[in-house]
Each structure stands twice: as C-alpha cells, then as structure tokens.
Structure 1
Amino acid sequence: MKSNHKSGTAFMKEKNKRCVLRCVKEKGPISRSEVADQLQLSKPTVSALVEELLQENWLKEVGPGSAGLAGGRKPIQLLFNSRAAHVIGIDMGGTKVRAGICDLDGQLLAADEFPTQTQKKSLLKALKQNVENLLNQASLNPDDILGMGIGAPGMTDTERGVVIDAPSLNWTQYPLKKEAEALFPWPVMVDNDVNVAVLGEQWLGAAKGMDHVVLISIGTGVGCGMLINGQLYRGATWAAGEIGYMVTDMAKARCADLPPPHEGYGFLEQYVGGAGIVQSMKQELKDQPESLFPNHFSAKDVFQKAKDGDRAAGKVLDEVIDHIGFAAANMISIINPEVVLLGGGISRSADWFLPRIQKTIQDFAPVSAPVLPTALRENLGVVGAVSLVLRETESVLKEL
C-alpha cells in the first residue's frame, strides 16, 4: 500500500508538472500565482514545480510583470524556454532529402537539402554529413538535440522503425530506425512522410488545433495522412492512407486497353502523380501536334501550359482535377474531416483548380469540408518530423 501511495504521488506530481509547463507555454508570460489560479493548484505546489522546471531549463523568468491595482511588488513572469532543447526533422523523398533543426516552438534554425538519387546507395551517410553541417550552422552540439524524426516515402511500421515498402528508394523491409540510430547519438523516430506532414499542419499549419484532418499529398506518387480524434490513423498493417490505389473511374479501371499500373503504384497515381500527368500529356500530344511543348517536360510544365491557355494541357488536367475531386469526396464521405489539405508539388497550383474540386465535393459527398493547400510549403516534412518527436518522446514534453 505504501508503495502504491508513493507511485500515485509521483504520478500526480508528474501530471501537475506537465500541466504547469503547458500552461506557461500557452499563456506565458504569466506569474506563478496566475498559473495556480488557472490550474486550481495551491501556490506552494506551483512554486515547487516551477523551481524544478527552471532548474531543468524548460522555463525561464522574465519581468517583472505589471503591478496590480493595489500597487506593490510586480510579480516575476514565466516563459516557456523554446531553446531548452532542439529537434532534427528529416523529409526523406524519392527526389530529395531535406533536413532541418528546430527549437521546441517549431522555429527553423537551419535547413538544407540534397538530391536523393545521387546518394541512393549511401543515403544515411550523406544525411549524417548534412546534419553535422546543420549543427555547425546553428552553433549546436549533439547534446543539445532531443531527438530526430524522419518521414519516409512509403508504408512504415512505426513500432519497429521499419520501412515496409518505399518504391522510390527501392526499400523493402528496411530497418531505417536501427540504421539511423547506429549513426546518430540520439533517439530516432520514423513514420510515413504524409503522416508526418499532417502532424506538422496540425501543429503549426492550416489545420492548427483541428482533430479531424485529411491531407492528400500529390507528387511523384499519391499519399494521404489522416488525423482522427487528434491521433494519426495508421491502419492494422500500417497501410492506411495508401489512396494512390483508390479507383476513381471504374470504367477505366476495367479497361483492358490501358497499361497496368507501374509496380508499387496504384490507379489514382497513374492519373494524378507526376509521371502519370507527363504520360497522359505525351499521349494527348500525338493527337494534337499544334500544341507547343518542349521535347522534355514535367508535370509542372503541363500546369503552366494549361494556365497559359494550351488546349491539350487543359484537357489533360481537366481529367486530373476530376480524379482528385472524386478522391477528396470519397475521403470526406469516410472520415468527415474538418478540412482537406492538398500537399506536394501540385499544391503550388491549388488556387487555380480548388474551386472545381470544391464543386465535385458538393456534388458527390454527403457533407462538405474546405479544401486548402498546405501552409508550411517546403518545410512541411521537416516541421512534421519535429512534431512527431515532440509527440512521441518520453520526456516532460510528452502530451504538451
């Protein structure tokens, strides 16, 4: 019984300590007495917990604050110390790897990127050199790092830290966490890159504070991250969100004349992924030779040509936008989110086609939801990977 009492006391102290830290983080600058009033804790309890947090460098004192109506000594104010530790976020894509160091508020202190394909056989060694350069840029030491988060472009078993399948990197059952922790002196956490992205948007982006969010990322491939009741939904075998395999046109899916999907890519990706858009454009150009396209072009070029009034490009993208609209309507019908976010390279042209997607949703989904481009842009994966660490790490920051 005595042991249980001690255990219960320790649990309550830790819980109250986190509450104090969260209160200061959200409402600071704030005095000790104001924290006590906010949390309905005794002033001696709050003072003792604040002293511990000050010694551990999670809080800092500023001030004094403003005097009360009765005058008297102005209370010292408390602030969350966002530089108490730092987190490294890695956005590992099939085209490039972007790495960054953030403080605990998500402020980016240093960032850099390098091409994936030229470093494919020694990707983690290249990443190690990149991270060392970033530490130097930010004037930080390894001891200043709380952990590292990595978003990987494929199905990822987060419990084992294993990338089950990442076609763009030719990874199958790759033990990314184990390999990374052999090179770096801090904990490493890994997840699917789109899962990581939706965490970043919930923390600091277009879905800030929301609990029900769908993020559809369209680039080389197509992926989807989902927050349900504020938590990532990963599925029974870590395959939730693989909407690149979603069928958005049954007739075409059953058509024997169409080429089969590339290995590792699904029906939707064949039409809205970057390679699929280029392939559709090439097919269209065979029938419309008057269209002025360069010999080598990308999906980005197709969008620009369509905006400039090219009829062939416009026809191709009409179909692309229809597929995206039906995919979004399907996800809204299943998840009933507060918002649908569009990320990846396609999000740069979102303002041009979002009204059409919204119209498709209104026509085919039982309820509506706003569709917005992601807000964090090129640093979305980095900030999301940092958020992953802060959500999962076993420290006083847990559940902040």
Structure 2
Amino acid sequence: MELKKGTLSGIRRLNRSTILQLIRENDPISRAVLAEKLSLSRSVVSIIVDELLADGIIREAGIGESTTQGGRRPVYLGFVPESRFALGIDVGGTKTIMSLVNLAGDIVRKKKIRTLHRGSASIEYIASEAAEFIRNTNIPAEKILGTGIGVPGFVNPDTGLLSNAPGLEIDELDIKSLVAGTLPGPIFVDNDVNMAVIGEVWCGTAKHATNAVMITIGTGIGAGIVVSKQLYRGRRGYAGEIGYFQTYDNPSRPEVGFLEYGPLDAVASGGGIVNMARELLEDYPLSILHESSCITSEQVFAAAESGDVLALRVIDSVSGHLAAALNNVIVLLDPDVVVIGGGVAGAKDLLLDRIRRIVSRMSPIDCSIDLASLGEDAGAVGAAGTVFIQSEYLKLS
C-alpha cells in the first residue's frame, strides 16, 4: 500500500482513507508501524493520525512494550466503527431496503418496505420513509456522512439522473434533486447492481478479489463490474446491462427499447421464470403448480426441489441461459470471481450447481462462481459504502 506524496493538504485529502484502512485491518497498530508500512516519516503520519483521533474515528488502544533498544513505548491505535454512519438505500421493483451502516460495514438499523408506487412517486415515498427511519435511529446528524441510493436502471452517477428504469416505470428522473433536503447529504446515486458489487467487494464474497463481477437476478438481470478494485461503469455509466444480452440463436423479435426488459431478462429473470411456467402449464397436467392461483418464481423453485417435472424443465432452461451469459462475461473479463445475487439466487444449490456444470463445459477459463454472502443486504451496504468511499473514509484497494 502506498500513499501519494505532495502538499500537506493533498496528503490529508487523498490519503486519509489509506491510513484509516490500515488501522482498520491491523487494529491495534502504532504510528511507527504505520509509517514503516507506508514509507513515510512519522511526523507526516502523525498529522493524519491526530486528525483522525480528534474526529473520534480512531482511538488510543493501549501502550505496547519497548523494543530491546529501549526508547518510548509505542501507543497503539484502534478503529472506532461506530464513529460514523451512512444511509444506504436499495430500491427494487417490488421491495426497498434501507440500512444504516457503520464504518466496518455492519448494519446497525434496517427497514424493508414494499415499493408501492411507480414513477417519481415511488422515489418520493421511499425518501419520506427513509427520513422517518433515520429520525427513529436517534443517531446524531453529524455522524451520518450521507446517503447512497441504488436504483434499477441507467444512472449518471455525477448528476444522479436515472433513465430507462422499466421496473419503476421511470423514463427519466433527477433523483438527487428530488430527495435533496429530505435525506442526509451529500447524496450519491448509482445503478443498484453497481452498489451491490461494492458491498460484496467491501465485506462479502468478493472481499479478497481484485477483479469481480456480480450478477443479480430478480425482476431484471444486471451486472456490476469491478476491475483492479475500481468500479467499472463504461463511457456513460451503462456497463453491466447484461439483461440485453442476446440469448437466441436467431433473434427475430422487434427492436428492443430501453423501457422494455431485454432478451436475457425475458427468459431468465423472476418474471421470465413465471412466464415460462405459465406457458407450459397446460402441457403438464400433473404439475403441482396447478394448485397455485398466481405462480411465483419461489413456487417454481420449491416445486423443482420436490421433483416437479414442469418446474425442473423451467429451471433447466433458465440455468442454460444464465450459464451462457456467465460464460460470455468470464471469457470477456477473466474475473477472479462471479458473484450471483438477487431474489432468484435464493434458489441456491438448485440453480448454482446447474450453472456451474454448464459453464465448466462452455468456458476454457476457470473462474469461481459463488453466491453473494450479503444476500438481500448487498445493495444497501454497497450504497452506504459508496458514501464512505466518496467521503474518503474507505478504500476498496
């Protein structure tokens, strides 16, 4: 790990998170060891350490033993994760999760609500619920560094402009301006899967990965991409929209508009699973899915677990499409790990084992394929992590 050298103000601005990360990872640690690890003078390190102590982000955690040469006994430094918090909000097509997260990535408060509305009304409703949630935590306002919001759709992270979000029926909406004054600022908005992959790289399945891809399978399908511990967004922030992967041998459907779900979404998302089961239901009169008046993807997976032939056919089809998509991602990016999350990932081994087997036959590149360890919390934790990154309290690398 290396600090950038320059003016005193530049060191404070650019390298505060690096020192904080070392203290977090090596708690307890002395100033001398910090200086040694960073190849800097103790006086330079002490300037930043004293600032962190004054802010209450770290604490003095005891006194060590003198070296064999004698001299002053080292004062150890410890990390104080409860010194600062961030609000992370993960907006989904059917549910929204809001979490207050500390500097260690621990969720200290959480609330889950239904995404009741569509259009701008959905965001206004979520913002009002989140504001009440924050008030009820009784955390001092000065300890909350800001709000991160993950939304399903195309997002300009610089402006907070959301566009092309079919799950919320939003064509274009300036989320940052809409919620300003209602939620703790500054406010950072990004695609929900980008937020989720940050969560998994920060403190989840991909924690030790340098290059990682997270694929979420729910109302739609998307990917978050981390290259060299940095989030990759592409030219306009649209990287990872793999729901638009072409999955047919001979694509013949009309041109796909951005307010429509893509080809992979249509055959492998939660909605795609339900639609396929409904279409095939008449061909399988003995299927237990006939007992349901409104089939859900969860019911399809449960039926497959019990050996239902229709459900197993659906799962096999979905697994094939998803495996093809993962193969394309792996041979293009050669990541350390592909993490699978989202509601459909709740099927766990039933889906994952099939995908792994198919990918192993398709791909010449070996790559770990694992489930997201943060589960439904990945998006909200990553959204809070984004606040910490932008505020220079956290580095992924």
Q: For the Cα contact (< 8 Å) 1:261–1:267, is it kept in 2?
A: no
Alignment of 1:304-315 (within 5 A): 304-315=302-313
Per mean C-alpha deviation after superposition, the further-off stretch among 368-377 and 263-272 is 263-272
* Residue matched to 1:155: 154
Alignment of 1:9-24 (within 5 A): 9-12=8-11, 14-15=13-14, 17-24=16-23
Post-superposition CA distance 1:217-248 (Å, at most 9, x none): 11111111111222222222322211111122
* Residue matched to 1:373: 371
Per mean C-alpha deviation after superposition, the further-off stretch among 32-41 and 97-106 is 32-41
Q: Which runs of 5+ in 2 are unaligned?
A: 1-5
* Residue matched to 1:87: 86
Q: For the Cα contact (< 8 Å) 2:86–2:101, is it kept in 1?
A: yes
Q: For the Cα contact (< 8 Å) 1:202–1:210, is it kept in 2?
A: yes
Match of 1:143, SS?
helix
Q: 1:18 to 1:340 in 2, by over 3 A?
A: closer
Per mean C-alpha deviation after superposition, the further-off stretch among 232-241 and 197-206 is 232-241
Match of 1:63, SS?
strand
Match of 1:49, SS?
helix
Q: 1:51 to 1:238 in 2, by over 3 A?
A: closer
Distance in 2, matches of 1:363 and 1:398, equals 37
Alignment of 1:43-54 (within 5 A): 43-54=42-53
Per mean C-alpha deviation after superposition, the further-off stretch among 281-290 and 134-143 is 134-143
* Residue matched to 1:327: 325
* Residue matched to 2:383: 385
Match of 2:348, SS?
helix
Q: Which one-letter code corresponds to 1:341 in the other structure?
A: V
Distance in 2, matches of 1:42 and 1:298, equals 61
Higher-Rg member (1/2) = 1
* Residue matched to 2:180: 181
Q: Which has the higher contact order (CA 8 A, sep 6+)?
A: 2
* Residue matched to 2:357: 359
Q: For the Cα contact (< 8 Å) 1:110–1:137, is it kept in 2?
A: no
* Residue matched to 1:207: 206
1:77 aligns with 2:76: yes
Post-superposition CA distance 1:299-338 (Å, at most 9, x none): 1100110110111111111111110111110111111111
Runs of 4+ aligned structure 1 residues displaced above 6 Å come to 70-73
Q: Per-residue deviation at 1:74?
A: 4.7
Match of 1:11, SS?
helix
Q: 1:118 to 1:16 in 2, by over 3 A?
A: closer
Q: For the Cα contact (< 8 Å) 1:92–1:98, is it kept in 2?
A: yes
Post-superposition CA distance 1:115-171 (Å, at most 9, x none): 112586643443344334433443212222101000001111111110011111111
Distance in 1, matches of 2:301 and 2:212, equals 27
Distance in 1, matches of 2:70 and 2:344, equals 58
Alignment of 1:17-166 (within 5 A): 17-66=16-65, 68=67, 74-118=73-117, 122-166=121-165
Q: Please report the TM-score for the alignment, with normalisation by the length of structure 1.
A: 0.89
Post-superposition CA distance 1:162-189 (Å, at most 9, x none): 0011111111220001111142341100
Match of 1:387, SS?
helix
Q: For the Cα contact (< 8 Å) 2:144–2:184, is it kept in 1?
A: no
Q: Per-residue deviation at 1:106?
A: 0.9
Distance in 1, matches of 2:192 and 2:17, equals 29
Distance in 2, matches of 1:74 and 1:288, equals 77
1:277 aligns with 2:273: yes
Match of 1:286, SS?
helix
Q: Per-residue deviation at 1:375?
A: 0.6
Distance in 2, matches of 1:93 and 1:239, equals 18
Q: Which one-letter code corresponds to 2:369 in the other structure?
A: V
Q: 1:343 to 1:278 in 2, by over 3 A?
A: same
Distance in 1, matches of 2:78 and 2:202, equals 19
CA RMSD in angstroms, aligned pairs only: 2.7
2:347 aligns with one of 349, 352, 355? 349
Q: Per-residue deviation at 1:274?
A: 1.3
1:339 aligns with one of 337, 340, 344? 337
Q: Per-residue deviation at 1:364?
A: 1.8
Q: Which one-letter code corresponds to 2:247 in the other structure?
A: T
Per mean C-alpha deviation after superposition, the further-off stretch among 384-393 and 16-25 is 16-25
Match of 1:117, SS?
coil
* Residue matched to 2:3: none
Alignment of 1:204-243 (within 5 A): 204-243=203-242
Match of 2:83, SS?
coil
Q: 1:210 to 1:168 in 2, by over 3 A?
A: same
Post-superposition CA distance 1:331-382 (Å, at most 9, x none): 1111111111111112111212323212222222231211111110121111
Q: Per-residue deviation at 1:15?
A: 4.9
Distance in 1, matches of 2:229 and 2:128, equals 35
Q: For the Cα contact (< 8 Å) 2:100–2:108, is it kept in 1?
A: yes
Distance in 2, matches of 1:246 and 1:379, equals 26
Identity over aligned pairs, percent: 33
Per mean C-alpha deviation after superposition, the further-off stretch among 23-32 and 155-164 is 23-32
Distance in 2, matches of 1:185 and 1:376, equals 24
Match of 2:214, SS?
strand
Per mean C-alpha deviation after superposition, the further-off stretch among 260-269 and 291-300 is 260-269
Distance in 1, matches of 2:197 and 2:94, equals 20
Distance in 2, matches of 1:347 and 1:147, equals 30
Match of 2:82, SS?
coil
Q: Per-residue deviation at 1:267?
A: 1.0
2:285 aligns with one of 282, 289, 303? 289
Q: Which runs of 5+ in 1 are unaligned?
A: 1-6
Q: Per-residue deviation at 1:200?
A: 0.6
Distance in 2, matches of 1:262 and 1:316, equals 26
* Residue matched to 2:262: 266
* Residue matched to 1:3: none
Q: For the Cα contact (< 8 Å) 1:135–1:141, is it kept in 2?
A: no
Q: Per-residue deviation at 1:68?
A: 4.6
Aligned residues: 391
